[in-house]
Amino acid sequence: MTSEEKNLGTEVAEMQPETWWQKAWKSQRENLQIIIIALGLAIAIRALVAEPRFIPSDSMVPTLRVGDRVVVEKISYYLEPPKTGDIVVFVPPEQLQEQGFTQDQAFIKRVIGLPGQKVAVKKGLVYLNDKPLVEKYIAEPPKYQWGPYVVPENQYFVMGDNRNNSNDSSRWGFLPKKNIIGRAVLRFWPLERIGQV
């Protein structure tokens, strides 16, 4: 076989048509890479920065209603601890898990008492270190008595704004800091109620 015939054979081998999957792979490889990168970023952002949450109950009425959707940011509590008035999303503590709630059933409540503060509920008011709180955000005054108790270290006293219809610290105790997922910062649904919470 001459060198010319060898070259011709090589050219014929190189000109064989691509299979359908080779063509599909070449045409979609870049799109697939973009999708994989986008999914990776979305997972990382949800795990470390912020995530959307759905409000399943009326325990935070009137601030949040059933069906509202909020953005929960996760970064600020690495820099500073929760403050009184923050609305936090958290994994149910052991007391709630013993009642049948699972770790994926996140709760949302307002921080009232910080570690070391004394909390009491009496005569329709919440007291923090023996001073009544001014709470314009609640549905109605609480109709029960609770405390006084001092909030333990690394724990928080949390309550729903719908005080008489909320499964909160007044029923199951204090919330460990480690259970806090993040802070609700923005309602993005429904559109007519979009804004900070």
Active site residue 6: no
Return the closest-CA partner of residue 54 out of 72, 68, 44: 68
Active site residue 109: yes
Give the active site residue among 27, 57, 59, 123.
59
Give the active site residue among 23, 26, 109, 123.
109
Question: Which residues have a catalytic role annotated?
Answer: 59, 109
